[in-house]
Amino acid sequence: MNKSSAPFLCKDYRVNLMNNKLSIPDERVKEMSTFRNSLIRPELGGIIGTIVVFIIFIILASDSGMFSSQGVLNWSIVSAQFMIIAVGACLLMIAGEFDLSVGSMIGFAGMLIAIFGVTFGWPMWMAILLTFAICIAIGALNGFICIRTGLPSFIVTLAFLFILRGFTIFLPQTIERKTIIGGIREAAEGDWLGAVFGEKLFMGFFQYLGDLGIISVFSRGTRAGEPVVNGIPMLIVWALILVAFGHILLTKTRFGNWIFASGGDAEAARNSGVPVNKVKILMFMFTAFCATVFATCQVMEFGSAGADRGLLKEFEAIIAVVIGGALLTGGYGSVIGAALGALIFGVVQQGLFFAGVESSLFRVFLGLILLGAVILNTYIRRLITGER
């Protein structure tokens, strides 16, 4: 092959390429774009939403005790609950799948813990570990069925929404002849794993703050002298750990890259050597794990498991994730955004209560926030990704 025999066309192209190479980047434009890049990120919508919501409630409810230590703890707990399931839902959604069985899984997991730990009288740590194993296995089964059959996860997990809820009602009814099993707190007394989900952290420190008068203390009753907020519930600690874990996994590891790719375009990801099936099944398992954490914290707090626990939680998780900027069709999103979405959700729900707004209006607010957030997020995403 003789290079000089290359036709004139080819030479033209070469010249073209040279021109491209020689063009000098405009430094001013570059600076602008660095600034924009730091501002325009997937969680921008969540950040803006959080600021707006806090401003609204500082105006509406600042004199209602919403921002007293007790009030803060109140909406922090609610937000943390949303966060725990939102992290799982977020990673799964970015990987391109849904899990509609999260709410039922919460009820189911709580019921399993009650049956194992109370009815069967097993040690609480064993009840909890076994419940985690069963629920994560069900998550894997969800994923496996989706991958194997190629059915949309929407349908497969919808089936599990009914199956798990059915068992959650059936099991206690046949075993205990009732749909609520109590006595969990007593059964978990002194159990190390129970404490990981039900205890509070820094209780000494909060007592100290109470003694100093920084936190108000109960003035009468059995708890006289104790601070009104006597520690940070493990629920909040779990929420923060899961958010940090999810964020680091997604943005700082190669596995995170695979999560984005699996949801962005599974076929292209496979062609690049990404083990898409493995990624998706693992994310289903992680979602189930998060639901079980939620359930365990809840039964430890309430001391009982009920057949109706976790109702509609799957949608609340998905709403938080979408408010946080994730794309429903997968391949795009942020765990921090989802956490902010959960915070917005919790603050609005409890804030309306503090502000004394008719509770039915919560749904109106939620709908408005969802709509506003999605419109804003779509706009931001277009700026980032150049979707057309």
Partner 1 sequence: MNSQATVTPIIEMRNIRKHYGPVIALAGVSIKIYPGECHCLLGDNGAGKSTFIKAMSGVVKPTQGDIFVNGEQKFFNNPRDAMQAGIATVHQHLAMIPLMSVSRNFFLGNEPTKKIAGIQFYDRKHADSKTMEAMSKMGINLRGPDQAVGTLSGGERQTVAISRAVHFGARVLILDEPTSALGVRQTSNVLATIDKVRNEGVAVVFITHNVRHALAVGDRFTVLNRGQTHGTAMRGDITPEDLQNLMAGGQELATLEGSLGGTV
Rg of the chain's alpha carbons, rounded to an integer? 25
Q: Rounded to whole angstroms, how far apart are CA atoms 50 and 347?
A: 9
Contacting residue, 28, 177, 220, 254, with partner 1 by CB under 8 A: 254
- Residue 176, interface with partner 1 (CB under 8 A)? no
Q: Rounded to whole angstroms, how far apart are CA atoms 235 and 337?
A: 19
Q: Rounded to whole angstroms, how far apart are CA atoms 76 and 339?
A: 12
- List the interface residues with partner 1, window 15-34 (CB under 8 A): 16-17, 20-21, 23, 25, 29-30, 33-34
Contacting residue, 197, 332, 345, 354, with partner 1 by CB under 8 A: 332
Report the nearest approach of partner 1 to the CB of residue 384 (Å).
6
Report in angstroms the alpha-carbon separations of 260 from 90, 92, 253, 338, 341.
11, 10, 11, 15, 20
For 165-262, where are the E strands, in sequence order? 180-181, 200-201, 232-233
The DSSP annotation for 15-61 comes to HHHHHHHHPPP-HHHHHHHHHHHHH--TTHHHHHHHHHHHHHHHHHH
AA identity, residue 252 = K
- List the interface residues with partner 1, window 132-161 (CB under 8 A): none
User: For partner 1, which stretch binds (CB under 8 A), given 78-86, 124-132, 144-152, 267-275?
Assistant: 267-275
Report in angstroms the alpha-carbon separations of 232 from 76, 110, 202.
10, 22, 7
Residue with tokens 């929404």: 161
User: For partner 1, which stretch binds (CB under 8 A), given 11-19, 73-81, 109-117, 291-299?
Assistant: 11-19
User: For partner 1, which stretch binds (CB under 8 A), given 4-12, 225-233, 318-326, 360-368?
Assistant: 4-12
Nearest-10 Cα torsion for 76, 82, 86, 89 = 170
Nearer CB in complex with partner 1: 131/377: 377
Q: Rounded to whole angstroms, how far apart are CA atoms 382 and 274?
A: 26
Nearer CB in complex with partner 1: 33/149: 33
- Residue 121, interface with partner 1 (CB under 8 A)? no
Report the nearest approach of partner 1 to the CB of residue 40 (Å).
10
- List the interface residues with partner 1, window 33-62 (CB under 8 A): 33-34, 37
Report the nearest approach of partner 1 to the CB of residue 285 (Å).
20
- Residue 13, interface with partner 1 (CB under 8 A)? yes
- Residue 328, interface with partner 1 (CB under 8 A)? no
Contacting positions for partner 1 (CB under 8 A): 1, 5, 7, 9-10, 12-14, 16-17, 20-21, 23, 25, 29-30, 33-34, 37, 252-254, 256-258, 260-261, 264-265, 267-274, 327, 331-332, 384-388
